[in-house]
């Protein structure tokens, strides 16, 4: 296997076989379903590779010490380890881990007299999926001493584990979206070809899909859409007999890891596949066509998650063609999928992509809210609206979409973009977790203070997971308890809320092209599980797991801290040499890589900065602009509306200001542009220097891979600096106060 392929699951050997903790020698499981077998096999693999000795897997209790896996309901060893209250605290996909010393007289049944220092560890959940996530938690702990609540694993602590962990996912849906096409290309993919398809067919050897499933399950991902939301001709046929047998094979691979797959569908399928003359959602023939189609699809893949739909967006077909709205469109599909428990995930990325740049009234930022807020409460129970984090499109910096909080009676998924379309395309380093944290922690004030995005997208704010009628029971959803409603049984079907994100992986040997971009996939999964984790904690985990070596010595601490700091600084660095003060879109049209300040200025995509000789920015105020600021709840609306309170980093998103405008930082806009671009390019060069300083401690292939990207980044950052600075110097005529070279 090539360097980086095992990613954070490489389980470095760090303990001699004779020091193998006693409880790691035997794995006891209940009669296992597929997912539990996976859990046991993963544990066995991890332990073997860390300790150099393969533990046995048994289905009956042996003499202690051992480690046991199972559900409370089916596994007596799991049940007896936790009280009824402790069991009830675990939600459908959560887990408890407990390690104890066995006092000799009390547990003689499981205790061998020959082994007096007996101890055993239990990983238990309501479901075997929960157990699987618990196993990955335990492996993280053993590998790197992680997860905050646990003390670092040392050989001593391993001999007498006193572990006690409860973990529940905050979000019921934790999804990844693939923008893979069946010709093998990946829309906005920067890590090689598709791992699913080639040459308009599924890839014959699906081994790599299983390795991908492992990576995803290890960070708690449990939903995966496997084709591009732009559904072209061949992909339209994924829901036909031509491809359903392959879809079923893929589903089986992911099912073993607790992951449900979804398909993106073409809204015009009744026309394209069915020969109908319309796809009008209110036409009974169309509804019947979809009902029959759902029956066919679910016969092939009984546990398909459902359909993901991009409709009336960027030239895709949709209900607008028939004068219908998006509730009509989504509900018709939802009715077809309901008998099978399927969901319709309907994207809100709907805007006019044929705008006239001369039209200063139309504001793309308003579009999602304007289309969907009026439809709140009109959607079926198995419809979920998927909303991008910002109102435009995954720019380096955007405000949070005002649609979060504006939908009270509609289930939502938050959509992030892990693939770095606008953030350096995996050639520049950009650890996105800090950006995502800002989104999640943003207070919408939808229900007063504390109405953060993370509470909206987990379903906690509106308490929608409650089975009863009352939607706002206070205090039920604190912390990571997320979707478990106190009075309902834990196995109740969880609510339809959570996270989705566009994948950043491809067929490159290390999955993500830039090795350090693996941290974004890892970080996304960890945040979807627990949005309370900090960007720092997640970086720390990822670096330890990925770069863990033989011993913990001083050099290693330096390695960990240095790489972690590179990650934590990287978004800010990227922003500083690319996109000043909330301006977006200064990129080359089409592929979106590299600077082109006016690339989108006279286009039809609704993406303008309006720079002239006096100033720059988009007036989105209520008073004199497009009114977008008014889509937020107060006090956010007022903060953005006023130039005095609008935060610097979003100033040009909300206001058109002269270059001489003074920021809160005390600097003028033009000087800020010059300063950040000069400093940003220098900081990019220092990322490379830091990496070079770590050379001795790094695997050579990994070192070279990353160095090549960091060298490119340092050069390309200069190109950004000089293009942007020169553009604004020529536009504005203002010289740099520090007289640095501008061309």
**Which stretches of 530-665 are assigned E, i.e. beta strand?**
615-616, 657-658
- How many CB atoms lie under 10 A from the CB of residue 148? 10
CA dist 709 to 417, 513, 592, Å?
A: 21, 9, 18
The stretches of 26-144 forming alpha helices (DSSP H) are 34-51, 76-81, 84-88, 128-144
DSSP label at 108? G
The reply to whether 180 belongs to the active site is no
Q: How far is the CB of 629 from ligand GCW (least distance, A)?
A: 23
Q: How far is the CB of 229 from ligand GCW (least distance, A)?
A: 5
> Site map for ligand GCW, 240-259, x if CB under 6 A?
--------------------
Q: Is the CB of 196 or the CB of 349 nearer to ligand GCW?
A: 349
CB 132 within 8 A of CB 258: yes
Which residue of 51, 267, 349, 511 would you call a contact of ligand GCW, by CB under 6 A?
349
Q: How far is the CB of 349 from ligand GCW (least distance, A)?
A: 5
Instruction: Using CB positions, name the residue nearest to ligand GCW.
Output: 393
The reply to whether 393 belongs to the active site is yes
- How many CB atoms lie under 10 A from the CB of residue 94? 24
Q: Is the CB of 180 or the CB of 541 nearer to ligand GCW?
A: 180
Strands 119-125 and 95-101: antiparallel
Q: Find the catalytic residue in 393, 540, 569, 619.
A: 393
**Cα separation, 141 vs 225, whole angstroms:** 30
Q: At what angle do helices 669-693 and 700-732 cross, to 10 degrees?
A: 170
Q: How far is the CB of 392 from ligand GCW (least distance, A)?
A: 9
Q: How far is the CB of 632 from ligand GCW (least distance, A)?
A: 23
Residues 424, 425, 431: CA angle, nearest 5 degrees: 60
Q: Find the catalytic residue in 6, 42, 421, 675.
A: 421
Q: Is the CB of 185 or the CB of 697 nearer to ligand GCW?
A: 185
Using CB under 6 A, which residues numbered 684 to 723 contact ligand GCW?
none
Count of positions on this chain that bind ligand GCW (CB under 6 A): 11
Using CB under 6 A, which residues numbered 175 to 234 contact ligand GCW?
179, 187-188, 229-230
**Cα separation, 526 vs 217, whole angstroms:** 11
CA dist 507 to 191, 209, 229, 296, Å?
A: 6, 10, 20, 31
Q: How far is the CB of 220 from ligand GCW (least distance, A)?
A: 24
**Cα separation, 706 vs 690, whole angstroms:** 12
The answer to whether the Cα torsion of 244, 247, 249, 255 is positive or negative is negative
Task: Give the DSSP H or E segment for 559.
Answer: helix 554-578
Q: How far is the CB of 594 from ligand GCW (least distance, A)?
A: 15
SS3 track for 460-502: CCCCCCCCCCCCCCCCCCCHHHCCCCCCCCCCCCCCCCEEEEE
95 binds ligand GCW (CB under 6 A): no
**Residues constituting the chain:** 743
Q: Is the CB of 233 or the CB of 314 nearer to ligand GCW?
A: 314
> Can you name the residues that pair with 13 across neighbouring β-strands?
none
Q: Is the CB of 147 or the CB of 180 nearer to ligand GCW?
A: 180
Using CB under 6 A, which residues numbered 410 to 429 contact ligand GCW?
421
605 binds ligand GCW (CB under 6 A): no
Which residue of 111, 174, 310, 477 would you call a contact of ligand GCW, by CB under 6 A?
310
CB 379 within 8 A of CB 327: yes
The reply to whether 314 belongs to the active site is yes
Q: How far is the CB of 33 from ligand GCW (least distance, A)?
A: 36
351 binds ligand GCW (CB under 6 A): no
Phi-psi region of 402 (alpha: psi -120 to 50; beta: other; left: phi over 0): alpha
Q: Is the CB of 420 or the CB of 631 nearer to ligand GCW?
A: 420
Q: Is the CB of 227 or the CB of 331 nearer to ligand GCW?
A: 227
Q: How far is the CB of 301 from ligand GCW (least distance, A)?
A: 23
Q: Is the CB of 309 or the CB of 521 nearer to ligand GCW?
A: 309
Q: Find the catalytic residue in 34, 104, 155, 314.
A: 314
Q: Is the CB of 394 or the CB of 529 nearer to ligand GCW?
A: 394
Which residue of 312, 393, 530, 540 would you call a contact of ligand GCW, by CB under 6 A?
393
Kindly write down the DSSP assignment for every residue of 406-464, as one continuous string.
T-SSS-EEEEEE-S-TTTTTTTS----HHHHHHHHH-B--BTBTT-BHHHHHTTTTTTT
Q: Residue 624: exposed, middle, or buried by beta-carbon count in 10 A (0-12, 13-18, 19+)?
A: exposed
Would you name the residues annotated as active-site residues? 314, 393, 421
User: Applying CB under 6 A, which residues contact ligand GCW?
Assistant: 179, 187-188, 229-230, 310, 314, 349, 393-394, 421
């Amino acid at each position: 296997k090539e360097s980086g392929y095992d990613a954070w699951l490489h389980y470095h050997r760090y303990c001699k076989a004779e020091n193998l903790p006693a409880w790691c020698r035997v794995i006891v499981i209940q009669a296992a379903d597929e997912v539990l077998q996976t859990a046991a096999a993963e544990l066995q693999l991890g332990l073997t590779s860390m300790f150099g000795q393969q533990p046995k897997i048994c289905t009956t209790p042996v003499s202690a010490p051992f480690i046991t896996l199972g559900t409370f309901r089916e596994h007596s060893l799991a049940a007896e380890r936790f009280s009824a209250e402790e069991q009830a605290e675990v939600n459908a996909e959560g887990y408890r881990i407990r390690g104890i010393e066995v006092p000799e007289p009390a547990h003689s049944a499981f205790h061998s007299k020959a082994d007096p220092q007996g101890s055993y560890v239990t990983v238990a959940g309501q479901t075997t999926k929960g157990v699987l996530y618990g196993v990955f938690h335990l492996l993280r702990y053993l590998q790197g001493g992680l997860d905050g609540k646990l003390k670092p694993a040392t050989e001593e602590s391993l001999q007498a584990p006193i572990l006690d962990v409860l973990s529940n996912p905050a979000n019921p849906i934790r999804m990844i979206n693939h923008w893979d096409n069946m010709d093998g290309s990946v829309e906005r993919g920067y890590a090689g070809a598709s791992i699913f398809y080639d040459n308009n067919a599924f890839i014959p050897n699906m081994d790599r899909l299983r390795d991908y499933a492992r990576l995803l399950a290890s960070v708690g991902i449990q939903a995966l859409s496997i084709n591009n939301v732009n559904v072209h001709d061949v992909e339209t046929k994924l829901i036909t007999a031509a491809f359903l047998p392959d879809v079923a094979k893929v589903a089986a691979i992911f099912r073993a890891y607790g992951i449900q797959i979804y398909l993106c569908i073409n809204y015009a399928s009744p026309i394209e596949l069915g020969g109908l003359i319309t796809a009008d959602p209110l036409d009974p023939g169309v509804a019947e066509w979809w009902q029959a189609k759902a029956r066919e699809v679910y016969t092939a893949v009984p546990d398909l998650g459902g359909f993901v739909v991009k409709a009336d967006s960027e030239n895709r077909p949709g209900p607008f063609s028939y004068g219908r709205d998006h509730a009509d469109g989504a509900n018709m599909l939802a009715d077809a999928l309901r008998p099978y428990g399927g969901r319709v995930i309907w994207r809100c990325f709907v805007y006019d992509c044929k705008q006239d740049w001369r039209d200063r009234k139309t504001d793309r930022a308003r579009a999602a809210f304007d289309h969907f807020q009026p439809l709140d409460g009109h959607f079926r129970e198995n419809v979920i609206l998927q909303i991008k984090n910002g109102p435009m499109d995954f720019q380096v910096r955007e405000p949070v979409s005002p649609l979060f909080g504006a939908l009270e009676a509609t289930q939502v998924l938050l959509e992030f973009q892990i693939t770095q379309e606008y953030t350096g395309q995996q050639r520049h380093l950009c650890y996105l977790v800090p950006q995502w944290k800002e989104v999640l922690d943003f207070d919408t004030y939808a229900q007063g203070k504390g109405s953060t995005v993370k509470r909206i997208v987990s379903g906690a704010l509106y308490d929608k997971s409650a089975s009863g009628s009352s939607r706002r029971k206070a205090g039920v959803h604190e912390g990571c308890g997320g979707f478990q409603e106190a009075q309902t049984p834990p196995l109740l079907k969880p609510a339809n809320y959570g996270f989705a994100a566009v994948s950043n992986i491809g067929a490159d040997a290390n999955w993500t092209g830039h090795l350090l971009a693996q941290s974004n996939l890892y970080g996304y999964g960890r945040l979807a599980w627990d949005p309370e984790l900090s960007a720092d904690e997640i970086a720390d985990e990822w670096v330890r797991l990925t770069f863990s070596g033989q011993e913990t010595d001083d050099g290693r601490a330096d390695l960990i801290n240095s790489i972690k700091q590179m990650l934590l600084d990287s978004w800010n660095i990227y922003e500083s040499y690319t996109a000043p003060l909330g301006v977006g879109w200064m990129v080359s049209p089409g592929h979106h890589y590299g600077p082109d300040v006016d690339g989108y200025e006279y286009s039809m995509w609704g993406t303008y900065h309006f720079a002239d000789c006096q100033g720059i920015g988009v007036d989105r105020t209520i008073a004199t602009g497009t009114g977008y600021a008014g889509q937020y709840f107060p006090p956010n609306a007022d903060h953005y509306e006023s130039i005095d309170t609008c935060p610097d980093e979003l100033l040009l998103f909300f206001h058109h200001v002269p270059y001489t405008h003074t920021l809160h930082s005390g600097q003028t806009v033009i000087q800020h542009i010059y300063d950040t671009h000069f400093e940003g390019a220098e900081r990019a060069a220092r990322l490379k220097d830091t990496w070079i300083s770590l050379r001795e401690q790094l695997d050579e292939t990994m070192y070279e891979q990353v160095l090549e990207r960091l060298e490119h980044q340092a050069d390309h950052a200069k190109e950004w600096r000089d293009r942007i600075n020169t553009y604004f110097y020529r536009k504005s005529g203002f010289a740099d106060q520090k007289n640095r070279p501008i061309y």
